[in-house]
C-alpha cells in the first residue's frame, strides 16, 4: 500500500487454504512474488512484496474462508486503494474477539477513511492517506496490529490503546514491526 516500498518475509506459511490475502492483494495491483522453500510438513516459503498504488476490489463469501483472519489488515489496504472495495459475506467477523467489522470501521473512520459498515462486511472508498488519531484495539489482536500497519500511511501519529492483546497471536510483533520501520 506504500508505493516504492519493498519487504521480504521468510518462513511464511503458504498453505493454499490460507493465502487468500495474497490473491486479493495481487488483484488490487500489488507486486507479490512467492517462492516455496518446503512442502512437508506444511508449505512454507518466502514472500517478496513491492509497494504499489492499489485499486479497489470486491470480496465475496466464497473467498472469506481463505482470508477471514486477514480481513482487518486488508481493510486498511482497501481504505488506501483507488476506487471502491466491497467486502460481503463476512458476518463471521462479528463474532471474533470483538466485532471486527465494527471495530475496523470505527478506527478507520477516526483516521479519515471513507468506510460504511454493512451487516456482513463494509463498503470502502479509497482515500489518499490517513491522519493521526487515537484508536482502540477493542481487546482484539488483529484490530491492534492492523492499526499499527495503518500508521505506515499516516500523516501524524496513531496511538492504539490496549495493545497487550497482540501477544495472543504474535508476541514478537512490536519487535518485528519496529525492525521493518528501520529498514
Q: Can 140 be counted among the known catalytic residues?
A: no
Which triple of cell numbers denotes residue 25? 492483494
CA 9-14-101 angle, 5° bins: 85
Q: Give the cell for residue 61.
A: 463469501
Catalytic residue of the set 69, 99, 120, 140: 69
Tell me, rounded to whole angstroms, the distance of Cα 37 from its chain centroid.
24
For 89-100, the DSSP string reads S-GGGGGSSS-H
- Residue 71 burial (C-beta neighbours within 10 Å; 0-12, 13-18, 19+): buried
Find where cell 501524524 sits: 156
Following DSSP, what letter does each residue of 20-78 receive, concatenated? HHHHHHHHTT-EEEEEEEE-SSS-EEEEEEE----B--EE-TTTGGGTGGGHHHHHHHH
Q: Which residues are catalytic?
A: 69
Amino acid at each position: 500500500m506504500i508505493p516504492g516500498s519493498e519487504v521480504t518475509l521468510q518462513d511464511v506459511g503458504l498453505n493454499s487454504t490460507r493465502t487468500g490475502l495474497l490473491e486479493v492483494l495481487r488483484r488490487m495491483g500489488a507486486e507479490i512474488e512467492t517462492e516455496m522453500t518446503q512442502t512437508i510438513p506444511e508449505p512454507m516459503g518466502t514472500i517478496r512484496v513491492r509497494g504499489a498504488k492499489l485499486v479497489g476490489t470486491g470480496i465475496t463469501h466464497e473467498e472469506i474462508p481463505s482470508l477471514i483472519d486477514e480481513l482487518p489488515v486488508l481493510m486498511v489496504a482497501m481504505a488506501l486503494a483507488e476506487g471502491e472495495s466491497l467486502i460481503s459475506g463476512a458476518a463471521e467477523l462479528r463474532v471474533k474477539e470483538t466485532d471486527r467489522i465494527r471495530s475496523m470501521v470505527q478506527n478507520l473512520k477516526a483516521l479519515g477513511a471513507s468506510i460504511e459498515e454493512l451487516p456482513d462486511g463494509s463498503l470502502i472508498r479509497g482515500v489518499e492517506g490517513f491522519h493521526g488519531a487515537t484508536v482502540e484495539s477493542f481487546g482484539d489482536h488483529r484490530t491492534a496490529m492492523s492499526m499499527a500497519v495503518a500508521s505506515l500511511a499516516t500523516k501524524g501519529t496513531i496511538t492504539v490503546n490496549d495493545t497487550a492483546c497482540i501477544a495472543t497471536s504474535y508476541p514478537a510483533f512490536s519487535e518485528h514491526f519496529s525492525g521493518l520501520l528501520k529498514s
